[in-house]
Structure formats: C-alpha cells, structure tokens
Structure 1
C-alpha cells in the first residue's frame, strides 16, 4: 500500500478500511483497476462500499482530465484536411518520428477538440449518475431537476445549402471538401434538378447510408396532371422547354408506355414494383460498405442523365418520385453538426418538394453558390438563384454568409510562358480578376442587398481535382481548405461542450444550495431583491419592442395604400407577359391556377402571382424588418434587449453577505444564459413565419379565384381565366392588403407577449425553486459539483470562482 491510497481513503472518510487495503496490497495502480467483485471483498458493507465506488468513479473521471491521452477517444485521429497536415506528417516520417503516438501528431486544434469531447463525455456520465440518484418523489423541485438534466443536451445542426447549374462542379466540390471521393456522382452524369440531396455524418454505424423519401401517390397523380398539360401535337408546343421537361420526366419513369395512356393507367402498381416503399408511403434505406457502392445504387433515384455503362441495367429511373435523399457518411468530422444540402436552383412544381426547398433555404446559415470560373459573371443561373431566393435567405431566413465559389480555377488557356511559375502566376491573376468581377456583379443587385449585405458575400476560387492532386504540396491555390475551415467552425465543439457543462454546473449548484439549511434570512432578502429587479428588467425588454411594433404599423399602413394603387397594374404584367403568347401562356396559366398562383419552369425565373401582389407590402417593411431581426441575432429591439437582460446575480455574488446563497445565484446566472439562448432560437424561428405571413394571407385570399379559374374549359378559357383573377383582385383589394397587415401585426404582438411571459414565468420559477424551496430529498452532489466546476474553469480558461470573488 502507498501513500496515495492511504490519503484517498482518509479524504473520503473511509479510514477504517485502510488496514484492509494495506493487507491486500492495494497501491495506486491497482486502485484504478479494482472490479466490482474485488470491491465487495474489500468493503463488505453496502453503505461505505457505495461511497467508495462513487468516489473512485469520480477519481477516474478526474484522472482523464489530467492525462487526456489515457482516454480512448482522445487518440482518435481525424483524416488530413489540408496541405499543412499532410506536410507535417511527411516531415515526421522522414525524420523517423513515425513511432509517435497518434495524439502527438495531431495539430493543436485537433487536440483541443478531442479534449472537449472527453470533457463532454465525462460530464454527461456525471449528470446521468446524478439523475439516477434523484428520488422518485413527485414534488416540484425533483420534477424540475429531472427535466433540466434531460434537456441539457441539444442537437444544434447548421445547414449549408449548395446551389449551382448542372456541370458547375457541385458534386466534385462536396466530395473534395468532406474528403469522400466518389460519394456524389460527378463528371458527365447530370444530377436531376428536382432531387434535393442532404449529406450528413453517420454517427451510429460504420456504413454509408442513403435514406430516400418519396412524394405521396396523391402528389404524383397531381403532378401527372400538370405534366400532361404541357403535352400536345402542335410543333410550337414541342419546342417549349416545359414540354420537353414533361416528356423527359414521363419517359424516364415509364419508357414509352406513358403515351396515349390516362393518369389512372399510369398509377398502376406494376410501374412501382421495385419501390414498394412509394406505394406504402415509406422511406427506402440503402446501406453499403463504400461510398462508390452507395453512389452506384443511388443513380436511379437521383439522376436524369447517366453514362451509358450506368444505364445499361436500369429500366426505370425513379427520380421524378423522389422528394429528398439523405446520404450519411460514417464518422465524418466535417459533418457531425453540419448538413450539406445540394439544392435545385429555383424550387419545384411539386408542392411538397417546393415546401421542403423553401424550408431548407430558410434554415441555412451559409449558402454556397457554385459556378464555373469562366462563366461566373455571365452564368444567369447563379444570379437568378440569388434574385429568386434572397428573401428566403435574408428576412425570411437566417443566412449569415454567402460564398460564391468559382470552380475549375486551375484550367487556363495557352500562353507563350508555359513554365510552372508562369502558369501559376497566370492562374493567380485570373482568379483575383474573377473575384473582383463577381463582387462587382453582386453590388449591382440592389434588391438583394436590402436583405443580404456585402459583408456577408465572399468569393472563393477552387479546383476539386487540383486540390486532391496537390494537397500534399507546399502551395495550395484552390481555397478548398477555407471551405473545410468553414465547416469546422460551424461544427463548433466548444459551444456545444461549454453550454452542456455550464448547464450542468448550474443544476448541481441549485441542488447543493437547495440542500443547505443555512442563510434563511438572506435567501428571503435576495429573493425579494431579485423579484423587484425582474420587474424592472421586463420593462426594459417591453419598451423597445412596443416602439418597434409602432414602427411596423406605420410602414405596413403605407404599404397597404401603395398596394391598393398598384396591384391591378402589377397583375397585368403577370397575366399578359410579352414573352409568352397564345397557347404557350394558356398552358402556363392553367398550371398557375392549378398550383395556387405559382409556376416553376424548368429554366428561368418562377412566376408567382401572390408574391407579385405582396411586393409593395414587403418593400415597405424590408428595411425595418432587417433592423429588427438581424440574422446575426445579437442586436436589435428583440434579440438585443434579451441579450442585455440581467438580474444582476454576478454583482450579488461579490457581496460577502450573499456567501450562503452563492450556489443559488450561480444557478440563476446559468438560467439567464439558458433563457437567452432559448429566446434567441424562438425569435429566429418565428421571424420566418412573421415575414412570410404577408404572402400567406394573400395566397389564402386569392385561393377562391384560383379554384374557380381552374374549372374553366373550352373556347375563350384563357380570356375567362384572366378575367376571373382580375375581377377577384379588383373586388378584394380594399380588404386583403389590410388583412395581410393585421396578420403580421398580430404575429409580432404575439411574439412580444410570448417573450415577456416566458422571461417572467421562467425566472420567477427559478427564483422560487432556488431561494424559497427546501431540498430535503436532494442528494449530496458536492463531489460532482467540484468535478464539473473544474471542467467549467478549464473551458473558460479562468481560475476558480472563489479566487475571483474572495
């Protein structure tokens, strides 16, 4: 037996067992190795044995923090993601240092991340143990604590949307950035513009997985009706792009069998034998050992043009029936808390696909727009994406960064100077020139810039093939490592770990403070002071919000009057387009009324009557809305005042008279931080529905006239459909714009009320539970609290709280 074991038993108030441990020869090394049956032999009595086991477990957890390399997860090695890593590894091998442990080879940022993973894992174990110690008594404090522990863990997932014309190199880019060659098909295979592909990490097993979600049978039947609207015998129609798109979709799924058949015939089960999941409204899951194998199996569900060798065994292509494909890559560091979404450019005719498209754009924090470098400025598709979607990203979303990515940056024309240095210099010059031109083009988009500032727009030049070929060289001009760094930052292990540890520290502080009998008088005095402070702070939150509502009322009232005066002229520009005449526009208008005023062509801009009618209203509030709900979420009359909310707990903690309630005040401070995060998330979510409420109200008001118009048949139907819509707008304009205004104002008022009520009720409950409730049944968690405090201080890089306060 050594001094280490003797001191630990003394520290744990288990002196009477020192002789037993000595007799059995238990030293420091063997102490850590003790199994349950051996502990039973050493300490036969349940009471002291349970104390010993608990303290030994905590000692082992503490040992991990002082020596992270002893933890199994701490030696996990991430694949190299940049030239620096590969270069460092190569130099080590040349110097004969390959025998170093994997952890030693990791860059500092990797070691920090691994350390935080260890901390997070350890604190989760501690809180699981605390949860199990809580009694089953159904009292308010116990219920509160169990709920708090169960809600500590949150899955924060960032969404990165990737747009780009087919052939621009989206798939190659994604494959290169996440380090998975061959995952998404690239080259001369063209991805179907209707299939949304999400790429995530598979943290459950080592397989490559794809979950295929289909549209419903009813939706496909409706889509068949729309497709047949573009079919006919006249030559003019056959030249129409939408006509060609309809033929292509039907031929992919049915071959030539669709011709001369009705919608009912084409819904026969025989066409869907290979995908019973579609008929049963279920998802289909594919699992493979390699990325290449999964990619080959996915072709028929995601591609509309294939290499001949890929097509020879495929009889039917099912992409017209696919709503979304989610690809999961095993243990991919870049994707652990990030979802990359390969998106079609301008939504989809299918309502559920289009709804999902809008939802994804509205939830993305980062957007990558991919264009071939030689077409970056002239490529219409790239800029149409911004012009079509900026309101979904900006005021109607949460986008904070737009990266315009120019691909194939290593390809350059011939020159007299063909030396490596000469070619390199010309590439750099051409890439810098492309960046300047693209940035200048963005500055021309005045409407887009109302919601998405120049500060959020960045241009990068990349070459996926060159990156994979040259990533081990000293020089890297592809900027793909910058994209990888963006994904690393979005994963944000530190925030996830810190939020969990901070929350755990608050809960344990409450538990330890609640079990204390000391300081009854000071608890009462502090609770009275905090309740008074809460009332004052709520007034500080309420006032700027009310002022904002007044500003919105004024803006919207002006927008209503402008809408009344311009709506009929705006409507004519949609119903009488200069570019489409006669039968071509007849088919488009039929689709417009069939789809609630919206038509999505295969190429070019979408047509949306509802958004056209709402344009004056949205223009009237765009500036105020951006100021009120900035996507950064750290300022404004809603986020800003919530972030400034404080009960002054830190100041009270510095008061020596409050020493006996310091733990309770620590908990309340944590609750403030948790509440700030929760309310910022609520605002981020609610702002989207508030902004879209204007268009939603117009859609609802216009629906009856669309329903009447789609029933119109026969001679003069184009004229009659137009007149039906025009008459409805003329008769409704004095009411529907005011209704849209009222709907938005109600949602804004409801949000303000919910924020104030949530702040008040949550903080009142926290004050009551921490300062007015006895914790007779609460177990002693002093050891757990000390362990978590050590982790907390390590994460904040600060000394212990006591050292600061006293």
Structure 2
C-alpha cells in the first residue's frame, strides 16, 4: 500500500496527547517508507513549534502531519483532528497552566530521550569500563522513568459518612462510586486511580484465594455451629448469615472441604481460576452499575447472586483522563482490618504505604463520633512510625446541613453554615489534642481539619466552590502529583551522563589535586554520618532497655486484659479459639481487633516511639538520621567556583550522582524503617507461636480455661527472654541498615570519582551541542 493516512495512526491508537510523545523508533515502526517518514517528521516538528506558542487546552494547530504519497491534492487530505473526551465535570477543568506544564514536560521528555538514544548509538562499540557504565546508567534511568510510582491516599469512614460522594466530587467524576446504598460492604478495599492504558472506565476485581476462603470457612462454621448453644452471641449470628448468603442451608451438613466444591462458584469462574475479573465501560455510570454486586452485601439485581463481596479482596477502578489521579491512588479502606487473613494483610500493607490519610465523618458528629477516633488511635502506629504517612486530614462531610434557621435569607444561611463549620473545626482539633499516643506519631502540623460539602460543590446554591473546601482537597492531590517529577529526574540524569561524556572527551587538563580534595571531603562526610548513626544507636539502646524492663513487670497484667475482657461469657471460648488458630490475631464480625502479640509489645513500642519519629520522620525536608544523609555533600559546587573550573563537567556529573544516590537511599530507608519498627511485634509473634500451636489442640470440656492457662504459663516462662530478644532483633536491624547506608555512600561516590576523573579508556566523541540542549531543558524545568 503506497498511501499512508490517518487510519494508520488510529490503528496504533495514537491520540492527540501521545502524538507529541512519539519517538523516532515509533515513527519508524508506523511509517516504514523513507519519503513519507521524512515529511511526517518535518510536519510534526512544525506542529510542536507552533503548539508551544499556543494554549494547548483550546488551540490546536492546523498543520497537517499525516504523511501521504497519494497524488490527491491538499484539499483531499485529512487534517489533524484528535479531540479528547474529559471525564471531569466542565466546571472543574484543570488549570490552564497545569495543562501547559504537562504538555511542555512531555515534549521535553521526548526530546531528551531521543537525544540520549542518538548519543549512546554514537559511542564506540568497545569493551570499555566507561562506555559500559554510560549505557547501563541510561538503561536504569529509563527503567526508573517507566516505573509507575504512585502516592497512596487512604480514605477511612463508616458507611453513610459520605466517602463515595467525597471521592466523586474531588476527582470530578459524579457517578463513579455509588452512595447511599442500603447495606454497603465494609470488607472490600476499593482503589481509584488513573487508567493509563485506554480511554475507558475500568474495574479490576481481585478475589481472595481458594485456600484463604477454606481457612475462613473453618472459622465461620465453628462460630455458626456453636450458635446452637449461644443464640445471642453476635459473632455466631453473623457467621450464620454469612454462610447462608453463599450456601443457603447446605453449609449445616457439610465440612469446609465439601463446601469448596466448584458447583458453589459457577457464576464466578475467575475465583476458581485465581484470576482477576475485568469490567470495562464507556461511562462511569455504566461501570458503577456493573460492579455494584462485587462491593455491596445486597444487590439490586434479583437475577444475580448476592454474595460476591464475600470472596472479593480488592476492587480497583481506573478513570481515564483525570489530572488528579495522574500519580495518585485513592484507597477506600475498611476501618479496622478484616477477619480474612489475606484482606487484613493487604489492609496493613496499604496503610503503611499511605502518604496521606483522610478520615471521613459526618460534621454533626465529628467530635463525638467514636468510630473515626478509634480508627485513628488503632492505626496511628501503622501510619506513622510503621508507615510513611506525612499528613492526616480529618474531613467533616455534609457541611451544608444546618438545622432550622429563623434567618431564611441566602446570606444568613451561608453565614450560619460557615459559623457551624468553624465551630466543628475547633471541636475536632480539641479532641485531637487529647490523644497522647497519636501525638507521639503526628504533630499538630500534620493534622488538618476540613469541612466539605460535595453536594454544594456541584450545585453552588448557598456556598462558593472554595467554601465547600473540595478545591482544597483537590489541591492536596495536585501537590502529591507534582511531587513526582519523573521528567525532571530523567533530564537531570541525562545532564549528568552528557556532562561525563563531554568531560571524558576533553580531559587533557585534569588536575590530580581535585581528586585528592574530593577523596578527603568524602572521608570527612562519611565520618559525620557514622558519628550521627552511633549516637542514634545509643539512644535506641537506652529506650529499649527501659521498654524491656517495663514489659517484664506489666506483661501478665496486659495479657489478662486480652484473655479476660470485660463482659466476656462462656461464648468467649470460640473467639479465643479463633485467636490462637490465627496465631494471636483475630478481628470479630463487629470489627473489633484482638491482637495478643501487639498488646505484649506495647511497652516496647511506647518506649521508642518518640525517638523513632525523630530518627525516621515522614514529614519535613530534613530526612532520616537527623538529616545527616540529606546534608551529605562533596561540595562540588564550591569546587567549580573555586579553582577547578577546567573539570566543571566532571563535577556536574558527581553532583548528579550524589543527588541520585541520596534520593535512592531515602527510599530504601523509608521502606526498611517499616520493617525495623514492626520487628518488635514480629519477634514476639515468633516466641508465642509454639504456645498458639499447643493451644490449637485443646478441645472438649474446660477448653476456655485450659487455653487461657496455656497462654499465661507460656508468657510467664518466656518473659525474661522474649522482650530482650525483641530489643536485640531491632538493634541488629538498625545496625544492618546503618552499615548498608555507609557502604552505599562510600562505594557510589568512590566509583563516581574514579569514573569521572581517573578513567582513561577509548576515545569518546564530544556531545557539546547535545549537552547545551539538555542543559536548556533542565533550566526550563527547574
């Protein structure tokens, strides 16, 4: 086929946005013939140049870019016409400057990637140390660029608090999550993120595994079977209802093995094959209707089964063309984990990965409602020292709701609403100040209160949009998106590589003195890091020693509070049986968490909470270990300005490597500190495991008494060793992390100094023009 028209690009799903990001290899693949390809490149270049001077939101160039070898005249050619369909409400368009910045970044990224590919292709194909490094470093930069890094925003709140309406309003998609459902399921985790693959609304339903369901069946059947004798026990009643939803009356005469028969799961084959189910629709409303039965405990469709949610682990909604979700995932979380082990593990992992947490409640009960504050108290350690949460937002919904007012004027009603909202904020903040344990993890600056009205934001009758405070939350999401500057990071890395290449091509006048000065500075900086870490280790030793002492003296009393809860009767034996079966952890159907291991660890964690927060802060710019890693510097900028201008390119490369290394170390530390913090509980869990295994075998008459005695006796015998072991395990992990950080700082910078100033390999062509271009892009971005 000689002719090439727009259909070829439609076949490759090239839309307006991706057109600007086309790289040379993409053009070669799509336009194989040289003549049409050269015309296309020229037209695309003209389009980009003209587009850069216009408003990318409203003005699109009429320059024709689709090449054709057809002999038809220009009037018959098809023009560039790639309209996009926004999923946002027209009133909620992204600010023009944000759109301009986005297009600009994509053009820069495309240009720099093409430049780097051309430069690396020109390098000699030799077995040379420097050339190998350059190619490997560019490969890593591309891999980092292509990694989908996302900020997680955890959203807590009970059914009826207005979470769904809030999320819909903030992302500007009215009909995505249904609100006001009769009986919403609180177990299923719901994620909302951007669809990066296609312009459709998509839902991915992930099921728990067959093995996990079988294990849960054991608990349900045991509770339900015991209901014959304990009619009023709520866990028993809930288990009966749960089993009946799935199996009708058949569960009563069957074992867990028989209830795993495939006949019970015919309508959800994905569960049996351990696959996710994907739903795709053109609109948010159509998708919402399709997935309702997977997240609700009651379905509106009488022809469908009503129990899908029992087997669902997580539902991920993907929204097309949404600027607020570009690098952000909103996660609607159950308030207190889940009795299903798989869902509970995912819950804890997600909480530990949230950089921001929204706690949502009705404004009328914001300060007095028990549940949101319980969520905060029970989860604060998972979010703070055990996680990476930088800010907690307490969101009071339905802020436009007021009682009857004598003043019926619009201005009077508005004034009354705003006054009510300010009073609510004061009450919430006063309540927060009472939470001493929470404030060990989060300061006043980390805690913000919002009073929002999703309804008023859309209808704009009594309040201005800004007064609904939805735009403030949108700004929060936008700032989280902006914190992911992949383009700047890539361009910075490319600038460093080009600086090294250009410096290597003209290194005749390198002075040995600069190497000595850099190596001397490296020794001094490493010493500073090492001493700070020693002081940190000493502080942890002191805190933990006090924690061990207190744990030994109070552990039996703490244990009794779990084994003999207030108001527990003989029915408690089934709860305790579930606790030991799950190795010390159980969540009741009412959502109450029982965790013997965490209770036993509480004195240890209390002892180090404040020191841990100082050492590994989630917020601020100082960074871990009292900021000593972020402060680490070889002083290359001073050296360039001082007397080593002849090697300024090599010094630029060193500065780039230094910043890249510190950013990478901060990421490693952020993840490792979660493991270090949880190591105390992990050690206690391991020590208690033999006790739980022994208790699992207890049955018959007196089971409750025997189980309690078995656990108490084990703790009594183990307490002199157990807590000291937990302390030693944490200290070892701290030492390992510190050693790894020091090793990485030393080896990376030594290698960089050698590569830039001491390596003499094969001749390398200069890249002065390319470096100037990338420098210009770098300056534009910064």
* TM-score grouping bracket, smaller chain normalisation: 0.7 to 0.9
Aligned equivalent of 1:45: none
Aligned-residue offset at 1:81: 7.4
1:140 equivalenced with 2:150 (yes/no) = no
Alignment match of 2:752 (pick from 721, 742, 766): 766
1:214 aligned residue: 207
Shift of 1:142: 2.5
Q: Deviations over 1:536-565 (max 9, x none)?
A: 111111101111101111111111111111
Q: What SS does structure 2 have at the residue aligned with 1:766?
A: helix
Structure 1, 197-206 or 109-118: larger mean CA deviation: 109-118
> In structure 2, what is the Cα distance between the partners aligned to 1:782 and 1:66?
25
Describe how 1:327-338 pairs up with structure 2 within 5 A: 327-338=317-328
Distance 1:271 1:130, change over 3 A: farther
User: What residue in structure 2 maps to residue 600 of structure 1?
Assistant: 587
Question: What corresponds to 1:570 in structure 2?
Answer: 558
Equivalents in 2 of 1:600, 1:67: separation in Å?
A: 59
- Which of 609, 614, 634 is 2:596 aligned to? 609
Residue number among 285, 289, 292 corresponding to 1:299 in the alignment: 292
Separation in structure 2 between the aligned mates of residue 637 and residue 169 of structure 1, nearest angstrom = 37
Aligned residue in 1 for 2:605: 618
Deviation at 1:454, TM superposition (A): 1.5
- Mapped partners of 1:40, 1:459: distance in 2: 56
Counterpart residue number, 1:314? 304
1:660-703 Cα offsets, whole Å, 9 max, x none, are 31111101001111111111111111110000000000001001
How much has 1:417 moved relative to structure 2?
Answer: 1.7
Do the aligned residues in 2 keep the contact of 1:337 with 1:491 (CA within 8 Å)? yes
Counterpart in 2 of 1:264?
257
Cα deviation, residue 602, structure 1: 2.9
Q: Is 2:521 aligned against 1:533? A: yes
- Preserved contact between residue 74 and residue 115 of structure 1 (Cα < 8 Å): no
Tell me by how many angstroms 1:156 deviates.
Answer: 3.0
Partners of 2:620 and 2:454 lie apart in 1 by 34
Which one of the candidate residues 221, 244, 247 is aligned to 1:254? 247
Secondary structure at the aligned position of 1:231 is classed as: helix
The equivalent of 2:351 in structure 1 is 361
- The one of 268, 277, 297 equivalent to 1:275 is 268
Q: How has the CA–CA distance of structure 1 residues 712 and 283 changed in structure 2, closer, same or farther, with 3 Å as cutoff?
A: same
* 1:78–1:398 CA distance, 2 compared to 1 (3 A): farther
Describe how 1:343-742 pairs up with structure 2 within 5 A: 343-470=333-460, 476-492=466-482, 495-520=485-510, 522=511, 524-583=512-571, 585-603=572-590, 605-632=592-619, 634-635=621-622, 638=625, 640-655=627-642, 657-742=643-728
Q: Following the alignment from structure 2 to structure 1, what is the Cα–Cα distance between the partners of residues 691 and 682?
A: 15
Question: Cα offset for 1:320?
Answer: 1.2
Residue 444 of structure 1: how far off its partner (Å): 1.0
Residue 78 (structure 2) aligns with: none
Cα distance in 2 for residues equivalent to 1:687 and 1:213 = 29
Question: C-alpha separation between the residues in 2 aligned to 1:65 and 1:777?
Answer: 40
- State the shift of 1:517 in Å: 4.1
SS of alignment partner, residue 413 of structure 1: coil
Query: 1:247 offset after TM fit, Å?
Result: 2.7
**How many Å apart are 1:609 and its aligned residue?**
0.5
CA RMSD of aligned residues (A): 2.9
Give the structure 1 partner of residue 64 of structure 2: none
- Per-residue CA deviation, residues 73-109 of structure 1 (Å, 9 max, x unaligned), is 9999896979xx949x9xxxxxxxxxxxxxxx95334
Aligned to 1:176: 169
* 1:241 match: 234
Asked if structure 1 preserves the Cα contact closer than 8 Å seen for 2:680 and 2:726, the reply is yes
> Residues 40 and 423 from structure 1, CA distance in 2 versus in 1: closer, same or farther, beyond 3 angstroms?
closer
* CA distance in structure 2 between the aligned counterparts of 1:641 and 1:536, rounded to whole angstroms: 12
Partner of 2:23: none
- The 8 Å contact of residues 164 and 170 in structure 1, kept in 2 or not, is answered as yes
Once the two structures are superposed, the pairs formed by residues 25-36 of structure 1 within 5 Å of their partners are: none
Deviation at residue 248 of structure 1 after TM alignment: 3.2
Q: Distance in 2 between matches of 1:753 and 1:526?
A: 28
Cα offset, 1:327, TM superposition: 1.2
Q: Secondary structure at the match of 1:325?
A: strand
Residue pairs, 1:67-82, within 5 angstroms: 67=53
Q: Which of 97, 110, 120 is the equivalent residue of 1:121?
A: 110
CA–CA distance in 2 between the matches of 1:672 and 1:61?
38
* Offset, 1:41: 11
Counterpart residue number, 2:185: 192
Change (3 A) 1:678 1:64: farther
**Alignment correspondent of 1:100:** none
Taking a change above 3 Å as real, the CA distance of residues 80 and 57 of structure 1, as seen in their structure-2 partners, is closer
* Structure 1 CA distance for aligned equivalents of residues 38 and 53 of structure 2: 30
TM-score normalised over the length of structure 2: 0.88
Deviation string 1:144-169 (CA, Å, 9 cap, x unpaired) is 22222122225431100000001111
Instruction: State whether residues 86 and 472 of structure 1, in contact with CA within 8 Å, keep that contact through their aligned partners in structure 2.
Output: no
- What is the DSSP-based 3-state SS (H/G/I as helix, E as strand, rest coil) of the residue aligned with 1:367? strand
Aligned twin of 1:20 = none
**Distance verdict in 2 for CA 1:443–1:338, change over 3 Å:** same
Change (3 A) 1:630 1:493: closer
Contact 1:470 1:476 in 2 (8 A): no
Q: Which residue of 2 aligns with 1:326?
A: 316
1:149 paired residue among 118, 138, 141: 138
Displacement, 1:779? 4.2
Partner-residue secondary structure (3-state), 1:199: strand
Provide the C-alpha distance between the structure 1 equivalents of 2:592 and 2:381, rounded to a whole number of angstroms.
15
Cα pair distance change 1:258/1:640, threshold 3 Å: same
- Deviation of 1:328 after TM superposition, in Å, equals 0.8
Q: Quote the offset at 1:346 in angstroms.
A: 0.2
The aligned counterpart of 1:794 is 780
Ranges in structure 1 where 5+ consecutive residues have no aligned partner: 1-33, 43-52, 90-104, 797-806
For 1:433 and 1:513, the matched residues in 2 are separated by 63
Structure 2 Cα separation of the partners of residues 339 and 710 of structure 1 = 40
Across the two proteins, how many residue pairs are aligned to each other? 727
Unaligned residue ranges in structure 2 (runs of 5+)? 1-30, 62-82
Distance 1:668 1:72 in 2: 43
- 1:780 CA drift (Å): 3.5
Cα shift at 1:793: 1.3
**Aligned-residue offset at 1:477:** 2.4
Deviation at 1:756, TM superposition (A): 0.3
SS of the aligned residue for 2:179 comes to coil
- Aligned partners of 2:287, 2:434: CA distance in 1, in Å? 43
* Cα separation, 1, equivalents of 2:36 and 2:103: 32
Matched position secondary structure for 2:701:
coil
TM-score by length of 1: 0.85
Shift of 1:634: 2.9
CA 1:125–1:705: 2 relative to 1, 3 Å: same
Q: Aligned to 1:258, what secondary structure does the other structure show? A: helix
Q: Deviations over 1:569-588 (max 9, x none)?
A: 111111111121212x1111
Secondary structure class of the residue paired with 2:402 = coil
Q: Does the 8 Å contact 1:171/1:184 carry over to 2? A: yes
